[in-house]
Amino acid sequence: MKDIESALIEERLYRPTKKFQENCNITAEQAIKQHADYKFNPESFWKGLANQFIEWDKPFTKICSGSRPFFKWFEDGELNVSKNCVDRHIKNTNNAIIHISESGKKENISYKKLYEKVNRFSWSLKKMKLKEGDRVIIYMPTIPESIIAMLACARLGIIHSVVFAGFSSESLKDRIIDCNAKAVITVDGFKRSGKLIESKKVVDEAIEAGCECVKAVLIFNNLNLKISKNKIDFTWDEIAPRESVVVDPLSMNAEALLFILYTSGSTGKPKGIMHSSAGYLLNCSLTSRWVFDLKENDIFWCTADIGWVTGHSYVVYGPLSLGATVLIYDGAPTYPDKNRFWKIIEENKVTVFYTAPTAIRTLMKVGEDSPRSFKLDSLRLLGTVGEPINPKAWVWYHKMIGLGNCPIVDTWWQTETGANMIAPLPGISDLAPGTCTKPLPGIETAIMDTNGDEITNANIGGDLVIKNPWPSMLRGIWNDENRYKQTYWSKYNGKYYITGDTARYDDKGNIWIMGRSDDVVNISGHRLGTMEVESALVAHINVAEAAVVSYKHEIKGEAIHAFVSLKQNTKKLDNSKYADELRQWVKKKIGSIAVPERISFSDMLPKTRSGKIMRRLLRNLARGEEISGDTSTLENESVIAQLREIL
């Protein structure tokens, strides 16, 4: 990788208001102290926080043990995550969850009610003979029952794996098989943008295609749809206890797995990222307090779907561990119209709002009249996640949604890191649009050059790495220790955790994320491996070869451009028909998010003499750039001219 010269220099600075500074959870003095405490003694720093944020059933004596790349945190301690998120707040008078459905129904769930529901659900899981260590797939939209199901699993030490409800039956099947899940929890169906999605049918398809490991399917009735029932199916109404029940939370070892969450890598199938109980909970909890500044009287709306890590850490585990109120909305941002988000904020007096740049850009496009016609002054803090936010969108968000008064926390983190790693502390950081600023106390990052040295100068890009272990770090990839070592620890002599992102400093030492260094694309803030899309395309009967690259997209951040060569004997259909067919195919194989925006057909793809497709050239072409770098290893130079013609 050549060092990446940085192009964008952003000069504007935004300070938090005096009122915000006076009321924030972590003040400038406290932040200085936290950084100093960490530097002085990392172990006692983490020990203090673990005792402050977590209610332990059995206290720990060990803090961080193990050696690279396998670490354990608080390994002799015991706790229950569900108890930390629910039981200890049952006397709270605020709601735990406010749920708004796409059709406009609203449900408030107090902590006491949540406690009852989690207990009932746990009881039912036990009745299904599920026990500690079993894996259970949750294939549901973002409704309270998904949160309840997660917390019920946590209560019994069952490892949950939430699969995004927009994934196809094949994607679901792959994940079920990979983690050898014993049960699937799903809904009859749900609506998104007014369109019906029949989840139970998708589960049936996945199981029919061969998931012998699944011994039971639990169906929660979300829409009152008629469903077909198989031998292993239980409906919620059949299995739920008739009266209220109490199921004691199991004291779990700190290192017991809480969940597996699948995410894309640059090669091969999705990786089952494993997270532990105590370490994960600690970072979620403390970042909810420090970065989102959450207090019990806040109404926190994190728009993420429960199927992504943001939905795990900042819809469920972080805010609930603090006893705050989370708002969830299970619909599309622009349904039934472009005002939906702002209307929800006004009606529910949302105080902290966390969303993705792609949503901001979508809403920005519909114009300023929309947010202007709503009262958004309940908001006091805004956040973004998932991809770099372009300064224009940042400034619009600050002005139009935050009315110039709300700090914006641009939070950098990953499925693998479990919680925010690089983010502003909203009461003290000077904010510049486009940078996620500096690592949080306790987190040590570096940017590395191609020689393996740390970059300290401004505006030179390199690999972003994390130097020291942290409690919520991934514990590995399910069933694939080698891939874990290879993907995250193979460079730099195994000394540092490799994030897969490239970044640079500005002259104030703020970190700017520049993009991925591997073949992972970031579409609307969701990670996808280009390989996954390529494998889906070549699995089509008429496709000989396919190469997938990304290009910049105004709303989605990045979009997919697929170059496809069809098999010789393929009937001559017009290309747009093939393109439609392939889009449908990818949707079926992976899900709508993976559908290529552009498809170009070509008899030939650029290849090296050893037969490797040169994706670098295709990337240049898709992005309308000059062809850069060496082309001398190209087997057939004329292919570039041919490709230019069809674009």
Q: Which residues bind ligand WTA (CB under 6 A)?
A: 263, 308-310, 385-388, 410-415, 436, 499-501, 513, 516, 522, 527
- The rounded distance, in Å, linking the Cα atoms of 379 and 398 is 11
- Residues 6 or more apart whose CB falls under 8 angstroms from that of 100 comprise 106, 327, 328, 329, 330, 331, 344, 348
CB nearer to ligand WTA: pick between 80 and 499? 499
- The rounded distance, in Å, linking the Cα atoms of 388 and 373 is 28
Distance of closest approach, residue 475 Cβ to ligand WTA, in angstroms: 16
Neighbours of 620 (CB within 10 A): 17
CB nearer to ligand WTA: pick between 412 and 585? 412
Neighbours of 118 (CB within 10 A): 27
CB nearer to ligand WTA: pick between 211 and 513? 513
Distance of closest approach, residue 553 Cβ to ligand WTA, in angstroms: 15
Q: Answer for the pair 415, 261: CB distance below 8 angstroms, yes or no.
A: yes
341 phi/psi in degrees, rounded to 5: -60, -45
For the record, the structure tokens of 506 come out as: 């500005």
CB nearer to ligand WTA: pick between 310 and 321? 310
| The residue type at 560 | I
Kindly tell me the burial class for residue 173, based on how many C-beta atoms sit within 10 Å of its own C-beta (0-12, 13-18, 19 or more). buried
- Residues 6 or more apart whose CB falls under 8 angstroms from that of 432 comprise 10, 11, 12, 13, 14, 506, 508, 510
Distance of closest approach, residue 80 Cβ to ligand WTA, in angstroms: 25
- The rounded distance, in Å, linking the Cα atoms of 385 and 491 is 26
Distance of closest approach, residue 59 Cβ to ligand WTA, in angstroms: 31
CB nearer to ligand WTA: pick between 136 and 498? 498
- The rounded distance, in Å, linking the Cα atoms of 126 and 63 is 33
CB nearer to ligand WTA: pick between 442 and 500? 500
Q: Answer for the pair 235, 187: CB distance below 8 angstroms, yes or no.
A: no
Q: Answer for the pair 214, 181: CB distance below 8 angstroms, yes or no.
A: yes
Distance of closest approach, residue 389 Cβ to ligand WTA, in angstroms: 7
Distance of closest approach, residue 417 Cβ to ligand WTA, in angstroms: 8
Q: Answer for the pair 304, 292: CB distance below 8 angstroms, yes or no.
A: no
Distance of closest approach, residue 498 Cβ to ligand WTA, in angstroms: 11
CB nearer to ligand WTA: pick between 167 and 563? 167
CB nearer to ligand WTA: pick between 427 and 500? 500
Give 110's DSSP letter. E
Distance of closest approach, residue 307 Cβ to ligand WTA, in angstroms: 10
Distance of closest approach, residue 448 Cβ to ligand WTA, in angstroms: 15
For the record, the structure tokens of 451 come out as: 């020689």
| The residue type at 82 | S
Distance of closest approach, residue 277 Cβ to ligand WTA, in angstroms: 20
* Closest C-alpha to 288, from 444, 430, 425: 425
Q: Answer for the pair 412, 513: CB distance below 8 angstroms, yes or no.
A: yes
CB nearer to ligand WTA: pick between 150 and 254? 150
455 phi/psi in degrees, rounded to 5: -85, 130
* Closest C-alpha to 220, from 324, 118, 138, 335: 138
Please calculate the CA angle 163-278-139 and round it to the nearest 5 degrees: 10
Give 46's DSSP letter. H
Distance of closest approach, residue 180 Cβ to ligand WTA, in angstroms: 23
CB nearer to ligand WTA: pick between 236 and 394? 394
CB nearer to ligand WTA: pick between 207 and 260? 260
Tokens 């079993």 label which residue?
A: 134
- The rounded distance, in Å, linking the Cα atoms of 42 and 64 is 10
| The residue type at 474 | L
CB nearer to ligand WTA: pick between 388 and 529? 388
Tokens 């670490």 label which residue?
A: 71
Distance of closest approach, residue 503 Cβ to ligand WTA, in angstroms: 9
CB nearer to ligand WTA: pick between 159 and 302? 302
Helix axes 42-53, 278-290, angle to 10 degrees: 80
CB nearer to ligand WTA: pick between 327 and 520? 520
CB nearer to ligand WTA: pick between 66 and 268? 268
* Closest C-alpha to 161, from 309, 331, 317: 309
- The rounded distance, in Å, linking the Cα atoms of 487 and 517 is 12
CB nearer to ligand WTA: pick between 45 and 262? 262
Cis amide bond preceding 270, omega within 30: no
Distance of closest approach, residue 231 Cβ to ligand WTA, in angstroms: 36
Ramachandran quadrant class, 415 (left: phi over 0; alpha: psi -120 to 50; beta: rest): alpha
Distance of closest approach, residue 190 Cβ to ligand WTA, in angstroms: 22
| The residue type at 46 | W
Q: Bridge-partner residues for 161, per DSSP?
A: 137
Distance of closest approach, residue 46 Cβ to ligand WTA, in angstroms: 22
- The rounded distance, in Å, linking the Cα atoms of 4 and 592 is 33
Distance of closest approach, residue 641 Cβ to ligand WTA, in angstroms: 34
